[in-house]
Structure 1
Amino acid sequence: MFGYVQIRKPELKIKDYTVYHGFYCGLCERLRNRYGFIGRLTLTYDMTFMTIFLTSLYDSDNISEKKRCVVHPAKKQTVIYNKYTDYCADMNMLLSYYHCLDDKNDDGSVKGYVGAAIYDKAHRQVARVYRRQAACIKKSLKKLTLVEKNDNSDILEAADCFGKLLAELFCYKKDYFEKQIRKFGYHLGRFVYIMDAFDDIREDIEKERFNPLKKEYLATDDKDCFNRRVYDMLLDEISEACAEFEKLPCVQYIDILRNILYAGVWNKFDKIVNGNEVK
């Protein structure tokens, strides 16, 4: 479901891209150090964003190093990380486990069985430390599964489950900023879920899988009208998320964060619509 909260590279300054890439490599490095090769497999743009967001909000000190890796063996890369990188790495493992478990329970996929088995130990390790987050992920995905099994075509009810999940993950600690952070994460989560449903619509129809947009898509002859309807829903959610974001005292890396929230999150939608992937 993840991969939508990313930069729009052409609109990002070179110096900011270098910092962003450093945090991305930092998350990759911490996943490897904490969980080995299986940790690196869970690397996402979304958790890179959450790392930079929390670092900016709480003005954390970073560790910056130059390292070579398997992906870039010829040249050392800038690697930036801090305690929030470790937190996001842990949340990545939780999400990866439950994602695989969901695949396993939904259609008995081999990938789901293997993934759930591989990530089980890491999941239990993280869940013992972050009980609040782990409980919320489990509860939210269980409710989402029920919505899907009931074949509920209310996209907002389904999106609500993922919104609550992401709200909990963004809430690193309960403090003065908790209300704004939760509302921000909630609407960003709803945005991600709707975008994922829009992205998967044709494949889900072909494979006869649940998608809360399917009934509306099949009932609409004018696909441009369908696209506009989805765009309006997405715009509502990201507008609410950005409104809450602007209330928070994020100063450092603000250009990177705004590039993602105001432009990068639309990368997939623009590609689908302009590339005629939804017809």
Structure 2
Amino acid sequence: MADRSAPDPAGLVAIDVHTHAEVSRTGHPSLSPELMAASEQYFGAKGHRQPTVDEMAEYYRQRRMAAVVFTVDAEHNLGHPPIANEEVAESCAAHPDVLVPFASIDPWRGRAGVRQARRLVEEHGVRGFKFHPSLQGFSPGDRLAYPLYEAIEELGVPALFHTGQTGIGAGVPGGGGVRLKHSNPLLVDDVAVDFPELRIILAHPSFPWQDEALAVATHKPHVYIDLSGWSPKYFPPQLVRYANSLLQDKVLFGSDYPVITPDRWLRDFEKLDIKPDVRPKILKDNAARLLGLTAR
């Protein structure tokens, strides 16, 4: 039976698996002003408006798209309190036709984080978890995160890992404490080995480690790649080649909204040399299957 608390893929043109809740209901930002400014500069989105989750819902509804929404909990490393996962989930629950809630739990929270993960899925309808190793200050294969991975695997929902360079902290002295090495996608290979039933999404074209991401995704059956954070016109040729062939069932549309809009992303994707039968897989079908959505 279809889940009536989730979007119906039959009525959608696309599913965006990578969008950010950047501000809470009370105006609390997801990042410190310094790091947010660096990110805006990096993406050429200086002064972009930070929409509320309610506004995001209307934005995607107008476009007949669904969106996965999350924030990032990196309080241990960055010292900035996150937007509450419960708030994100509750806001998404008000718009089940277009929004899919993911959560983010800092692995440094230990057993409390594991309990929170279970509660978020079982009581708040969360359908996946976002990790940003560079912001959270941990290597994906660090054993401190293993109890959290174990819980997520048991709950049967995906784990999405930021990979590659990040605009957050770019140009700030010391990168604002953000260590790029933690976001090499090859580090996620240990997670895929030790948690073989965990569905994993490697977020973004993984500059400068694109080949590593392709290697992991082709080798491990439950590892996917999302295409967020870059305009498709800048995708490395090997990424396009694999998306058209070996990974056509494991590549996902993602924008990185609001710093990159789905309008811009889709406009550039239309010009990309993607096979006609592969295009709908990337835009919707692969994500619908991975997220457990079924047409009503």
Pairwise same-fold verdict (TM > 0.5): no
Q: By percentage of residues, which structure has more strand?
A: 2
> What TM-score comes out, normalization by structure 2 length?
0.30
TM-score by length of 1: 0.31
Higher Cα radius of gyration: 1
